[in-house]
């Protein structure tokens, strides 16, 4: 029995997130179908994250155990033959028996893209939020810096029965940068709560609109009150950008 780690990327515009749903097409479903076609078995897939409908991934990791002896290079080519054009397997490697794409993960980085121009970009339809009012990226970058550190993110998540009652996460990086009309908010942490990045983004947009003071974020943390933060930004601008593992966890003894 081998334990394999697949690295994917996908455009999530037409998918109802990663996890299989009874009445909607998901990324897990199309990957599972491709694996059945190639390997004639249906492995139990462990995804690194639960992405929402419409969210994209530049890096998404999946692990599974299999009896198949197909070499990793051939498996990548075969899966991409059967996958739709908006999902691609970028790499495959054999990992230790106890490796788990989600539980072995040490952190993730998300990026939220905002097209900040009076006229929408047809090329970024469902791939960035169109926000036509002016944005001061310097002000927003200063506000985003207040997210860095270990905090209780109760105010910045949607309560979900799937979550434990521990809402503390350690954010190691939070930045807002502009390249032309594209404004990107990137944030890295040891873990993320349900809708956390989208609410962090919505809070920054409220700062831009003057509805939240730039220095009010520490008070929002302390309140542990979701109503004090900004709205949940739409999903189409959100990308899972990177997934972090310890290199030692990827190698067998």
Positions marked catalytic: 52
Q: What's the rounded Cα separation, in Å, for the pair 86 and 88? A: 7
Assigned token pair, 209:
């609109």
Q: Residue 47 belongs to what H/E stretch? A: strand 46-47
Distances (CA, A) of 238 to 12, 39, 112, 165, 187: 10, 32, 4, 25, 11
What is the β-pairing status of strands 149-152 and 168-179?
antiparallel
Q: What's the rounded Cα separation, in Å, for the pair 18 and 29? A: 8
Classify residue 190 by its DSSP letter. Answer: S
The answer to whether residues 182 and 113 touch, using CB atoms and an 8 Å cutoff, is: yes
Distances (CA, A) of 14 to 86, 114, 200: 9, 20, 24
Report the number of secondary-structure helices (H) and strands (E) in the chain. 5, 10
Nearest to 111 by CA among 183, 179, 13: 183
Length of the chain equals: 253
């Amino acid at each position: 029995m081998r334990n394999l780690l697949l690295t994917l990327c996908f455009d999530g515009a037409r998918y109802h997130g990663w996890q299989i749903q009874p009445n909607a097409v998901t990324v897990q479903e199309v990957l599972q179908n491709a694996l059945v076609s190639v390997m004639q078995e249906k492995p139990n897939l462990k995804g690194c994250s639960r992405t929402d409908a419409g969210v994209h991934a530049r890096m998404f990791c999946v692990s599974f155990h299999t009896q198949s002896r197909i070499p990793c290079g051939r498996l990548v080519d075969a899966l991409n033959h059967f996958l739709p054009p908006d999902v691609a397997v970028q790499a495959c490697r054999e990992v230790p028996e106890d490796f788990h794409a989600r539980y072995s993960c040490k952190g993730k980085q998300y990026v939220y893209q905002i097209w900040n121009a009076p006229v929408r970009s047809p090329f970024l339809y469902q791939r960035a939020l169109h926000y036509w009012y002016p944005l001061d990226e310097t002000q927003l970058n200063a506000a985003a810096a207040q997210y860095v550190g270990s905090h209780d993110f109760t105010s910045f998540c949607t309560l979900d029965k799937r979550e434990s009652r521990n809402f503390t996460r350690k954010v190691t990086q939070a930045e807002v940068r502009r390249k032309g009309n594209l404004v990107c908010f990137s944030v890295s942490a040891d873990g993320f709560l349900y809708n956390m990045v989208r609410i962090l983004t919505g809070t920054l947009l409220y700062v831009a609109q003057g509805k939240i003071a730039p220095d009010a974020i520490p008070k929002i943390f302390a309140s542990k009150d979701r109503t004090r933060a900004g709205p949940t930004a739409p999903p189409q601008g959100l990308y899972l950008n990177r997934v972090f593992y310890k290199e030692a966890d990827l190698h067998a003894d």
